[in-house]
């Protein structure tokens, strides 16, 4: 057995897989090249995949960060252990499913860095293609006395199920003959009965302490058109019956799902054992394992609630950069690598836990820090005038400046830009009445000289005054340049300053000046860490400042960027050119996250 190429932290699922590989649990399975029953698979050669996992979304919505965890987990385990992960649409439920969702799901999985091609086969499957087998299996269960058609009303069925402390009551239809059940079931399929008139139930134990084993329904009547099978069927299998069969037909070895399904595992095994005994499915059978679903603070991951945010126009669509959908995270600027790193860091555990949103942000920083080119941007521009420019450097002179594309990777070259008489600085780098310990710009007062700072990659300057409008809003800062202090020259250290500030030239872009840009400052969508916990109304804790749009000025190298490019704006954080709205000449940036977690916790 080849060891996983990268050493990853172990977890209970890896331990199970390693144990199965060591024991050869699945070594003798046969695979005929496509999903199928015992006869079909038995005709194949030994399965080239050491393990098979699957990612089985229902195509009824956009995937979110929780699904990303499941994708990284299932595809990642298959990759690490010489296995194959199947991409399967669990489309057994008619009506709710749409092609738009199918396309977006495939796109999301590919974007995350995974695919379903292996050993020359595309492992993209649709559960609805197994309807014929599921039906045949149901007839076999009926013939073997393991299932019956129940004609109780839904109310009677509910009442007779009992509850946690009370055993259920057998249905009066429970003991009819296999022939009669078969006839009824065929009538159900033939369209003779209305929705809800009867169901096919597994015959297990109405007194089981596990309510899921009290004769669960396995087929219901639903006169509905299915996106794949059209009007061929008017009965549809229940999820809990369909899912184990899907896994078995596909030779899945480790069927990984979230903890809510733990109580369903006995039924999962019941279905598979019965069908294997009847010779319809090959052994060894798949096994189900549960892990705790991802809960992320300040985020909701229910598809229904996310849909409400879109439908009620609280956000601008499924790909709004504030959405925890994969399309939203992607537009926000998250990378696939950052999401993979995040999934690895949070790991898997057999209990529910809340992961701090900061963990996701930190994964992004760790991914982008070595990759992202740097740039200067002024998000809240205030004009600064260097009054002695003409005497010091000459009227109309533009001083060429440069900075490394990446401070730790000199080989990536330098960005060029120009410094002239007028520059843009951040409004909060100047204060009329500075508090003690403020090391940036402030005006001279009495005997005290004005504040001195270095314009990063440029000169040291000293504040000489300012102008303000009738409302007291500062409109201009005046300063003088200290000659011979330019960064990178021998005199650079002749004057010591405590503050260094970012800036962008106010001259035209052709002379290395800044370019106006729209910058979208995104923040958390909710102010509560657990917006929907305990049935709380998540719309009551919407963050009114989750989006602030500012008109910024950015250095020329940033303005020239193509769409979907990521940068670190020095001192400000990580930003991406918006995939949809950015255009050269009309730059639009999204803030992905700040440089560090600045929030107290
Ligand atoms: P929702 O409850 O939001 O509708 P779902 O679980 O019904 O989500 P599916 O399409 O059935 O959505 O999910 C596909 C796979 O993704 C399942 O295997 C499921 O276990 C997994 N999954 C869904 N949500 C999470 C989550 N928050 N954390 C981890 N895995 C998840
Ligand atoms: Mg589901």
Full DSSP string of 363-428: HHHHHHTTTPPEE-EESSEEEEEETTHHHHH-TT--EEEEEESSTT-GGG-EEEEEE-SEEEEEGG
For ligand 1, what atom is nearest to the CA of residue 258?
A: 20
State in Å: Cα 57 to ligand 2 middle.
7
State in Å: Cα 74 to ligand 1 middle.
12
Beta-sheet strands, E only, within 240-307: 254-258, 287-291, 294-296
- Is residue 262 part of the annotated active site? The answer reads no
C-alpha triplet 365, 68, 91: angle, nearest 5°: 160
From the CB of 57, is ligand 1 less than 6 Å away? yes
For ligand 1, what atom is nearest to the CA of residue 71?
A: 16
Has residue 1 got a pLDDT over 80? Answer: no
At residue 33, φ and ψ (nearest 5 deg) are 100, -10
From the CB of 58, is ligand 1 less than 6 Å away? yes
Report the pLDDT value the prediction gives residue 352, as an integer from 0 to 100.
80
Q: Which of 176, 220, 293, 316 is catalytic?
A: 293
Which stretch of 94-103, 105-114, 351-360, 488-497 has the lowest confidence by average pLDDT? Answer: 94-103
Report the pLDDT value the prediction gives residue 7, as an integer from 0 to 100.
62
- Is residue 555 part of the annotated active site? The answer reads no
Mean pLDDT for 148-169 is: 96
Tell me which ligand sits closest to the C-alpha of residue 301. 1
CA–chain centroid gap for 265, Å, is 27
User: Contact, 526 vs 541, CB < 8 A?
Assistant: yes
Residue nearest to atom 18 of ligand 1 (CA): 257
Which stretch of 34-38, 57-61, 586-590 has the lowest confidence by average pLDDT? Answer: 57-61
Q: Which residues contact 66 (CB under 8 A, 6 or more apart)?
A: 293, 294, 296, 301
State in Å: Cα 528 to ligand 1 middle.
23
Q: Which residues contact 199 (CB under 8 A, 6 or more apart)?
A: 149, 150, 157, 217, 218, 219, 220, 221
Mean pLDDT for 515-536 is: 95
Report the pLDDT value the prediction gives residue 595, as an integer from 0 to 100.
95
599 confidence band (pLDDT: 50, 70, 90): low
Has residue 155 got a pLDDT over 50? Answer: yes
260 confidence band (pLDDT: 50, 70, 90): very high
Mean pLDDT, the chain, whole residue set: 95
Q: Which of 50, 88, 189, 303 is catalytic?
A: 303
As a 3-state breakdown, the chain gives helix, strand, coil percent values, each rounded to 5, of 30, 25, 45
Strand bridging mode 294-296 / 353-355: parallel
Report the pLDDT value the prediction gives residue 135, as an integer from 0 to 100.
98
For ligand 1, what atom is nearest to the CA of residue 56?
A: 14
User: Contact, 443 vs 464, CB < 8 A?
Assistant: yes
CA–chain centroid gap for 395, Å, is 53
Query: 55, 65, 69, 70: which to mutate for ligand 1, most atoms within 8 A of CB?
Result: 70
User: Contact, 594 vs 575, CB < 8 A?
Assistant: no
For ligand 1, what atom is nearest to the CA of residue 295?
A: 27
Has residue 371 got a pLDDT over 50? Answer: yes
Distance CA 320, CA 317 (A): 5
Distance CA 524, CA 75 (A): 29
Query: 67, 288, 292: which to mutate for ligand 1, most atoms within 8 A of CB?
Result: 67
Report the pLDDT value the prediction gives residue 106, as an integer from 0 to 100.
97
From the CB of 79, is ligand 1 less than 6 Å away? no
State in Å: Cα 130 to ligand 2 middle.
18
141 confidence band (pLDDT: 50, 70, 90): very high
- The DSSP letter of residue 295 is E
Distance CA 15, CA 83 (A): 15
Mean pLDDT for 274-302 is: 96
Give how far Cα 247 sits from Cα of 85, 137, 153, Å: 11, 14, 32
66 confidence band (pLDDT: 50, 70, 90): very high
Report the pLDDT value the prediction gives residue 600, as an integer from 0 to 100.
47
How long a stretch of residues is the chain? Answer: 601
Counting DSSP H helices and E strands in the chain, the numbers are 15, 31
Has residue 39 got a pLDDT over 90? Answer: yes
Calculate what percentage of the chain has a pLDDT beyond 90: 91
The 10s digit of each residue's pLDDT in 304-337 is 999 999 999 999 999 999 999 999 999 999 999 9
Report the pLDDT value the prediction gives residue 97, as an integer from 0 to 100.
67
State in Å: Cα 174 to ligand 2 middle.
30
| Owner of token pair 């696939």 | 336
Residue nearest to atom 2 of ligand 1 (CA): 302
The 10s digit of each residue's pLDDT in 202-257 is 999 999 999 999 999 999 999 999 989 999 999 999 999 999 999 999 999 999 99
State in Å: Cα 58 to ligand 2 middle.
6
Strand bridging mode 254-258 / 287-291: parallel
Give how far Cα 129 sits from Cα of 228, 273, 283, Å: 8, 22, 22
From the CB of 294, is ligand 1 less than 6 Å away? yes
State in Å: Cα 258 to ligand 1 middle.
7
Tell me which ligand sits closest to the C-alpha of residue 56. 1
Tell me which ligand sits closest to the C-alpha of residue 66. 1
State in Å: Cα 9 to ligand 2 middle.
28
User: Contact, 332 vs 576, CB < 8 A?
Assistant: yes
Query: 90, 258, 346: which to mutate for ligand 1, most atoms within 8 A of CB?
Result: 258
Which of these, 405, 414, 399, 515, lies nearest to 459 by C-alpha position? 399
Q: What residues does 88 pair with on adjacent strands? A: 125
Give how far Cα 474 sits from Cα of 15, 429, 467, 469, 601, Å: 63, 12, 6, 7, 34
Choice between 600 and 222, residue whose per-residue pLDDT is larger = 222
For ligand 1, what atom is nearest to the CA of residue 60?
A: 10
Residue nearest to atom 22 of ligand 1 (CA): 67
For ligand 1, what atom is nearest to the CA of residue 59?
A: 10
- Is residue 303 part of the annotated active site? The answer reads yes
Tell me which ligand sits closest to the C-alpha of residue 89. 1
State in Å: Cα 66 to ligand 1 middle.
7
Query: 54, 57, 259, 325: which to mutate for ligand 1, most atoms within 8 A of CB?
Result: 57
For ligand 1, what atom is nearest to the CA of residue 70?
A: 30
User: Contact, 525 vs 322, CB < 8 A?
Assistant: yes
Distance CA 49, CA 351 (A): 29
Mean pLDDT for 169-195 is: 98
Distance CA 27, CA 21 (A): 8
Report the pLDDT value the prediction gives residue 378, as an integer from 0 to 100.
98
Distance CA 225, CA 117 (A): 30
Which of these, 364, 378, 299, lies nearest to 333 by C-alpha position? 364
Distance CA 343, CA 75 (A): 12
Residue nearest to atom 25 of ligand 1 (CA): 66
From the CB of 203, is ligand 1 less than 6 Å away? no
From the CB of 36, is ligand 1 less than 6 Å away? no
The 10s digit of each residue's pLDDT in 13-35 is 999 999 999 999 999 999 999 99
Please give the helix or strand (H or E) that residue 67 lies within, else none: helix 65-80
Distance CA 226, CA 88 (A): 17
State in Å: Cα 284 to ligand 2 middle.
26
State in Å: Cα 363 to ligand 1 middle.
22
Beta-sheet strands, E only, within 147-238: 147-150, 199-202, 217-221, 235-237
Report the pLDDT value the prediction gives residue 98, as an integer from 0 to 100.
79
From the CB of 566, is ligand 1 less than 6 Å away? no
Q: Which of 58, 187, 337, 518 is catalytic?
A: 58
């Amino acid at each position: 057995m080849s060891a996983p190429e990268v050493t990853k932290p172990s977890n209970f699922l890896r331990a199970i897989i390693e144990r199965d590989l060591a024991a050869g649990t699945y070594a003798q399975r046969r695979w005929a090249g496509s999903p199928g029953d015992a006869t079909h698979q038995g005709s194949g050669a030994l399965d080239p995949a050491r393990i098979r996992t699957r990612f089985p979304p229902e195509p009824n919505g956009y995937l979110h960060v929780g699904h990303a965890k499941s994708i990284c987990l299932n595809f990642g385990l298959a990759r690490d252990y010489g296995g194959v992960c199947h991409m399967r649409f669990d489309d057994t439920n008619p009506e709710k499913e749409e092609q738009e969702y199918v396309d977006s799901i495939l796109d999301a999985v590919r974007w995350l860095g995974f695919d379903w091609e292996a050993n020359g086969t595309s492992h993209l499957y649709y559960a609805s293609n197994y309807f014929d087998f599921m039906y045949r299996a149901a007839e076999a269960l009926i013939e073997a006395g393991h299932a019956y058609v129940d004609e109780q009303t839904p109310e009677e069925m509910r009442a007779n199920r009992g509850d946690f402390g009370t055993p259920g009551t057998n249905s009066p239809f429970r003991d009819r003959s296999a022939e009669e059940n078969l006839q009824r079931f065929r009538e159900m399929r033939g369209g003779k009965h209305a929705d809800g008139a009867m169901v096919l139930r597994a015959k297990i134990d109405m007194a089981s302490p596990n309510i899921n084993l009290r004769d669960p329904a396995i087929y219901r009547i639903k006169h509905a058109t299915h996106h794949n099978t059209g009007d061929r069927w008017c009965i549809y299998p229940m999820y809990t019956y369909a899912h184990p069969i899907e896994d078995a037909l596909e030779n899945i070895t480790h069927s990984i799902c979230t903890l809510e399904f733990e109580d369903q595992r006995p039924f999962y095994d019941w279905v598979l054992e019965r069908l294997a005994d009847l010779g319809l499915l090959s052994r060894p059978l798949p096994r189900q394992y549960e892990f705790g679903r991802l809960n992320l603070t300040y985020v909701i991951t229910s598809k229904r609630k996310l849909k409400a945010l879109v439908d009620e126009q609280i956000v601008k669509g499924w790909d709004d950069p504030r959405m925890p959908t994969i399309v939203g995270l992607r537009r926000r600027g998250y990378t696939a690598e950052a999401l993979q790193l995040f999934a690895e860091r949070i790991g898997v555990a057999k209990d529910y836990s809340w992961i701090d949103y900061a963990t996701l942000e930190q994964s992004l920083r760790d991914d982008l820090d070595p990759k992202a080119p740097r740039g200067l941007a002024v998000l809240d521009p205030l004009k600064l005038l260097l009054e002695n420019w003409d005497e010091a450097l000459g009227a109309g002179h533009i001083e060429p400046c440069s900075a490394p594309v990446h401070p730790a990777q000199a080989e990536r070259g330098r960005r060029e830009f120009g410094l002239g008489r007028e520059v843009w600085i951040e409004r909060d780098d100047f204060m009329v009445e500075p508090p003690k310990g403020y090391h940036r710009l402030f005006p001279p007062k009495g005997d005290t000289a004005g504040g001195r700072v270095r314009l990063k990659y440029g000169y040291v300057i000293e504040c000489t005054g300012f102008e303000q409008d009738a409302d007291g809003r500062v409109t201009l800062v005046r300063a003088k340049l200290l000659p011979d202090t330019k960064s990178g020259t021998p005199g650079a250290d002749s004057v010591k300053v405590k503050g260094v500030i970012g800036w962008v030239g106010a001259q035209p872009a052709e002379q290395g000046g800044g370019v106006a840009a729209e910058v979208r400052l995104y923040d958390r969508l909710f102010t509560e860490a657990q917006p929907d916990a305990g049935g709380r109304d998540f719309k009551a804790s919407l963050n009114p400042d989750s989006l602030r749009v500012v008109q910024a000025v950015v250095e020329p190298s940033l303005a020239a960027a193509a769409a979907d490019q990521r940068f670190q704006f020095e001192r400000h954080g990580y930003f991406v050119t918006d995939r949809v709205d950015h255009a050269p000449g009309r730059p639009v940036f999204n803030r992905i996250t700040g440089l560090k977690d600045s929030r107290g916790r």
